[in-house]
Structure 1
Amino acid sequence: MKIKITACQFRVEKVSNFNEFQEQIEDLITHVPENSDYIIFPELLTIGLSAAFGEQDASSVIRIDEYTNQYKDLFRSLSRKRKQVIIAGTHLERRENEYFNIAYIFDKDGSVVEHKKTHIFPAEANWHTSEGDDLEVYSVGPVKIGITVCYEAEIPEISRILSVNGADIIFCPSYTFTEYGFWRVRHCAHARAIENQVYFVHCPTVGEPGKPLPNGYGRASILSPCDSAWPANGIVAEAVMNEHTIITGTVDMDELY
């Protein structure tokens, strides 16, 4: 069975209201092939909305939670309209008295499942985010999938748990602030693909939005194990570094077994 995947490498910009953010998303997704089985956006996709609250420090990023309902409504509508599974990056959301960095997966009927990031990168401590506890495999779309959010790709046990529990594709929305951070996640992502004989989709946030928001550095990729069934370098598709763009690649699930 062949699966088509599109990764949307999103260039974050400061926006003054949700309508501006929605226009960015809708413009980028129009370039996605209609027959892609999965679409992924990057980590902290909504962070540009923090500019709507005026000049504030990094800790105020959590205020983007105020856009949670609009964010979910947007991607619920897009998944239904396009009849595609959308991993809508991640978003900071308040649950009771805690904030979590949550990846949302919208099915073709608009239903949603979620993954709370389990290992917080030290820089995220400034945003007062808490860590999730669960690692689940999701039967959404034609195959079983797992999610690792950025830093989670650097922890081998996480991808191992997902693959042992049946995930054939692991999606990784990320937001790395430097070239060093990007390559750290990218190298680990490819190692996870090779170790577990799975496909790994790395989708970073890019751009230079200006303080207090961090810069994003990255290059989206669809990665395979390195063996005779795939390209020698294990790269199925790869974006131009730091561009606002998409990549699409097709992976053959039968080659994993």
Structure 2
Amino acid sequence: MKLRVSAIQYHLHTIQSFDEFAEQVEHYIKTAEEFSADFVLFPEFFTTQLMSIGNENKKALTIEDLPDFTEQYRELFIKLAKQTGMHIIGGTHVVRKGDKLYNVAHLFYPDGRVAEQAKLHITPTEVNEWNMAPGDGLQVFETDKGTIAMLTCYDIEFPEIVRMAKAKGADVIFCPSCTDDRHGFHRVRYTSHARTIENQVYVVTTGTVGSLPTVDFMRANFGQAAVLTPNDIPFPPRGILVEGELNHDMIVTADLDLELLYQVRESGSVTTWRDRRTDLYTDWK
């Protein structure tokens, strides 16, 4: 099985309306469609751009206001997935359930279905400044191009949760991210590489670039898209199929061959998935 993935370095800047947001999203989607992508990945928190629209007093909206755009967000991406026949990971969007806010990754299927995966590990800023709540369960998602998981930013830094995703059958981990400095960016990037080696899976990641001068905690962004592989003979020596230019508005595209994963799990230079010592430490099923 082969599939083509595109990852978007989404440029954040101040906008005046939801229509402006939709036009920018459609630009990236049309570009990925021209590349014949099967999957398109947007970054974490890219819909915070909607907060820059502001209120009647010309002040930026708050994180509490962002869920008010959920219906429009879903309608836009459902329409685009149906029109293009692509699977779209619509980054993450903040949703309200009861009296709690969740940072939720959305998978939009070409047939109109929508799947969700709430972020499971919440950073101190998300808790202290935005009062986010963590999700309470991991899912993997079956598609006609294989089984995937969506683990957002901080999630990828926890090896246990990625091991669970692999144990559930995921061959590709999509990791939408949003980091505001080099330190945060490299935490996500280095641990993404580690997860590909430990579990012999692909990781597709991307982040926000640009800035939202009026939106607190989104004033700085440091991002780069990358498609990462295990470090073994069938793959590039550095484990990078493709990566973008740091902090540029752009899209990167690469082809994933799932058969190569199956081969290295069976007879690679190392067989890390097969050789895990479940007699010494817990496995996750």
TM-score bracket relative to the smaller structure: over 0.9
Structure number, greater radius of gyration: 2
Residue 230 of structure 2 is matched in structure 1 by 225
| Conserved? CA contact 1:38–1:141, under 8 Å | no
Residue 242 of structure 1 is matched in structure 2 by 247
Aligned residue-pair number: 255
More displaced stretch, 60-69 vs 180-189 = 60-69
Corresponding residue SS for 1:36: coil
Residue 55 of structure 1 is matched in structure 2 by 59
Flag structure 1 segments of 5+ consecutive residues without an equivalent.
none
Shift of 1:98: 0.7
Amino acid at match of 1:204: G
Supply the distance in 2 between the matched residues of 1:52 and 1:218 (Cα, whole angstroms).
23
Aligned residue among 143, 162, 166 for 1:163: 166
Shift of 1:33: 3.6
Supply the distance in 1 between the matched residues of 2:135 and 2:176 (Cα, whole angstroms).
16
Shift of 1:56: 4.7
Supply the distance in 2 between the matched residues of 1:210 and 1:69 (Cα, whole angstroms).
26
Supply the distance in 2 between the matched residues of 1:141 and 1:105 (Cα, whole angstroms).
13
Shift of 1:32: 0.9
- What is the CA deviation profile of residues 134-177 of structure 1, one whole-angstrom value per residue up to 9, with x for unaligned ones? 11110024100001100001011110000011000000000001
User: Structure 1 residue runs of 4+, over 6 Å off?
Assistant: none
Cα RMSD (Å): 1.2
Query: Superposition pairs for residues 103-118 of structure 1, below 5 Å?
Result: 103-118=105-120
Supply the distance in 2 between the matched residues of 1:245 and 1:18 (Cα, whole angstroms).
21
Supply the distance in 1 between the matched residues of 2:141 and 2:2 (Cα, whole angstroms).
18
Amino acid at match of 1:189: S
Amino acid at match of 1:192: R
Residue 41 of structure 1 is matched in structure 2 by 42
- What is the CA deviation profile of residues 208-237 of structure 1, one whole-angstrom value per residue up to 9, with x for unaligned ones? 221423311011000000110001101011
Shift of 1:95: 0.9
Supply the distance in 1 between the matched residues of 2:181 and 2:51 (Cα, whole angstroms).
21
| Conserved? CA contact 2:121–2:154, under 8 Å | yes
Supply the distance in 2 between the matched residues of 1:24 and 1:71 (Cα, whole angstroms).
13
% identity of equivalent residues? 38
Amino acid at match of 2:110: K
